[in-house]
A and B are shown apart, each in its own frame.
Chain A
Amino acid sequence: MFLEAQHIDKSFGDFKALDDVGIGVREGTVFGLLGPNGAGKTTLIRIVNRIIRPDNGTLLLNGNPMTDNDVQKIGYLPEERGLYKKMRVGDQALYLAQLKGLSRHEAAARLHKWFERFEMSDWWNCRVEELSKGMQQKVQFVVTVLHEPKLLIFDEPFSGFDPVNATMLKNEILALKEKGATVIFSTHNMASVEELCDDIALINKSHVVLKGSVNDIRRSYSRNLFEIVATKSETPMSLPQDVRITKQQIGDEEETSFIMLPDGMEANELLGLLMPQRSIRSFREVLPTMNDIFIKAVDSE
């Protein structure tokens, strides 16, 4: 494990924000931290960033307890993003990069590269308050990744981004992963989880209620539901009693059926039953979306 948090407890006064929380993040993967508002995601992220100390528990980075120096290896984009309004973009980016341990010279060279890439070189001498919110977010993203951290932490990265920038951000996250960085991000946006995440942990009411790889989780929540597209036919499908057709859409040429199998019945059996009746065009298992899983897991608490 690249980063491991074990048995983390954290209370604020009488409120227990995290209760025996443990997560493991594999190197070079994208890890999603999910959970409803107020579940404790931001608290956990702040603990990983060493902004606040846990009451109990350990944090291991590459198997060693994390120290303050490890913070240099982290790039953090908080949920509440802000910049000094009156400062010039270039000065500000240089300052934040230097705080992360880059030399002034190195920071300037890297910044110019990124600014060119994102077509924002013209903003260098603008005051931050002159930029739009989306522009500010781009600046913040660049500053976060500039020191090429091994671990990137994004808290709700997609909130407030327009679709164009959100797509850009997704691509950048994947590109960073390609380059070997490990990414943790918290989000409500379940579609982005399916697209980006390798592993997730779902936190609800200060506890981890679900964790593992996205594929495993979706499979474990599988309802044995299949989508079959076949050529249109006048005769209805004849299937055993315990096989349920949940939905059927009939088009001009094709019919799409959603069929739920009883426990223990294999997909091949269904295909065997259908092949004599229909000419099948496509067949796939319908896994539950992360959105469904999220709601189910949170509701069952």
Chain B
Amino acid sequence: MNKILLVIRREYLTRVRKTSFWVLTVVVPVLMAALYAIPIYLSVKPVEKTTVMIADESGIFGGFDRNDTLHTDCRFASSDNITYRYAATYDYALRQMEKDDNVSAILYVRSRASGAIPTDACLYYKTDLPPSNVRYDIDRQLQRILRNRLLRSHGISDDEYALISNTKINLRTEDLETGREAFLDVKTALGVILSLLIYFVIFMFGSQVMRGVVEEKTNRIVEVIVCSVKPFQLMMGKVTGIALVGLTQFLLWVVLTGVALVGIQGSNPELFRQAVQKHDMTELATKGTDATIQMQDADNLANVPQLVEGIAAIDFNVIVPVFLFYFIFGYLLYATFFAAAGAMCDNDTDTQIFSLPLTVPLLLTMLLLPAMMNSPSGTISVVLSLIPFTSPVAMMLRIPFGVPLVQLYWSMALMVVSFPLCTWIAARIYKGSILRYGRRLTMFRRKK
């Protein structure tokens, strides 16, 4: 068997057999599934029923004529969980609260000079803070009633209001040549996600390479190995083996997360269907029943198809291969240098010092990410996406926006050309340092 394959095999198997590998492999999907399932369980968990007393001295919120059936939209509307009861006076409300355990809070609106619009209201509670959904509901209803009162007093009909509040102008960004919409938000989000992903992959597996090299060096096993394998083979075997470990883990994460999600949903399908339905219903309920607000809902909902449309507009045929290219070459470029840095270390504490120069270009790109987001085809973006050490992260940010092919090809070409060059340099450092202890690298001083 080829020796480099033997090295790859060892690097791969020893890592995959470690307990920590499997712990991480299981923990991440579990966390992901939990992240998805826990909010749903919490949202479905029945909310305690509660009663809120309303002591409205201003009369604006329906406190004066409790039997006014004409103006239901100017009164607090009870829901399944929250019952609103009007009290004639604050004292009466207080007494009710002492008598009845269900009463959890009193909404008190102070009277002001007649006709004046109240600017604040107070929610009094005893010991237990009212849950946030109650506070949220009260707030919304206050705003709604106030607005409806004002509309009424100014003689504006519901239809007129709907017309005013729903008229808006939509600014789109469109490519002059293709006539297609740009969907900038979706693309920025995608770009940031891809950049972060590449950044983490390079860091995580790069430092694994480094630790592996330091281990071999401090163990002193390296001397036995380099007399049967060339240092270059050892280095590349390690880099490749760890890359395969990374890919295995990544694949397992995707598969296991999928299995976990399906499993959770399968274990209690009713719950999840309920959760989705309930979510929709509470949305509608809290937004009130007025036509005007329903109109607004419709407007908000329009964003969802827009998101779908935005994602559909992204050319994944380009993004996926480009991502894979920079994923592989970015990792290889950095991993060889991490190996070289590891070879220079005498012990684990050295690793931080020696990995610092490697992290600078990556960190720099991350720091410039906001500037690049602002202008994905600006000078900074173009330059960073051409330099081989910054291009994996920078290009990932740019690629959803579409990159001129000339730039893309140049960037890739530079990457391809610099890879053997950098590997050669890294291999030289590695070779020169791997058997040297306690002495700093001298290869730059001499030729041979």
Contacts and interface: CB of A to CB of B under 8 A. Distances in A.
B268 to A, nearest CB: 42
A283 interface: no
Contacts of B223: 51, 78, 80, 82
A98 B14 contact: no
Contacts of B10: 95
B191 to A, nearest CB: 40
A59 to B, nearest CB: 14
Nearest to B431: A52
B219 A83 contact: yes
A49 B435 CA distance: 13
Contact of A12 (B13, B221, B226, B442): B442
A77 B6 CA distance: 21
A14 B188 CA distance: 55
A4 B63 CA distance: 110
Interface of A: 11-13, 46, 49-52, 55, 68, 71-72, 74, 76-78, 80-87, 91, 95-96, 98-101, 104, 140, 143
Interface string B204-234: 0000000000011001111111111110000
B228 A100 contact: yes
B224 A82 contact: yes
Contacts of B154: none
Given A80-B220, A82-B221, A85-B219, A51 B435 contact: yes
Nearest to A46: B435
Contacts of A85: 215, 219
B227 A13 contact: no
Interface residues of B, number: 27
12 contacts: A50-B227, A51-B223, A68-B230, A72-B228, A74-B227, A77-B224, A78-B223, A82-B220, A82-B224, A83-B219, A84-B216, A96-B224
Interface string B1-34: 1010011001001100010000000000000000
Contacts of A87: 14
Interface in B223-251: 223-230
Contacts of B442: 12-13
Contacts of A78: 220, 223-224
A71 B227 contact: yes
A145 to B, nearest CB: 13
A95 B6 contact: yes
B224 A76 contact: yes
A99 B448 contact: no
B338 to A, nearest CB: 19
B301 to A, nearest CB: 56
A86 B20 CA distance: 13
B220 A86 contact: no
Nearest to B222: A82
Interface of B: 1, 3, 6-7, 10, 13-14, 18, 215-216, 219-230, 435, 442, 445-446, 448
Given A46-B435, A86-B14, A98 B224 contact: no
Contacts of A46: 435
Contacts of A55: 448
A171 B273 CA distance: 78
A51 to B, nearest CB: 5
Contact of A98 (B1, B221, B445): B1
Contacts of B3: 99
Given A98-B6, A99-B3, A99-B229, A84 B224 contact: no
A135 to B, nearest CB: 16
A81 B228 contact: no
Contacts of B227: 49-51, 71, 74, 76
Contacts of B448: 11, 55
B221 A99 contact: no
B226 A99 contact: no
Contacts of B224: 76-78, 81-82, 96, 140, 143
Given A13-B446, A50-B227, A76-B227, A84 B6 contact: no
A50 B227 CA distance: 7
B166 to A, nearest CB: 66
Nearest to B6: A98
A51 B226 contact: yes
A99 B219 contact: no
A50 B230 CA distance: 10
Contacts of B229: 99
A78 B224 CA distance: 7
B225 A99 contact: yes
B447 to A, nearest CB: 10
A184 to B, nearest CB: 13
A78 B7 CA distance: 20
A51 B445 CA distance: 21
B217 to A, nearest CB: 9
Contacts of A81: 220, 224
A63 to B, nearest CB: 22
A72 B207 CA distance: 32
A38 B13 CA distance: 39
A143 B226 CA distance: 15
A83 B313 CA distance: 55
Contacts of A84: 14, 215-216, 219, 221
A110 to B, nearest CB: 16
Contact of B228 (A52, A86, A99): A99
**Which one of A68, A81, A104, A143 has the highest number of Cβ atoms from chain B below 10 Å of its Cβ?**
A81
A290 to B, nearest CB: 27
Contacts of B1: 98, 104
B228 A71 contact: yes
A51 B225 CA distance: 10
Contacts of B7: 99
Nearest to B1: A98
A78 B434 CA distance: 14
Considering the complex of A and B, which 3 residue pairs feature the smallest CB-CB distances, nearest first? A82-B220, A82-B219, A80-B220
A78 B6 CA distance: 22
Nearest to A144: B224
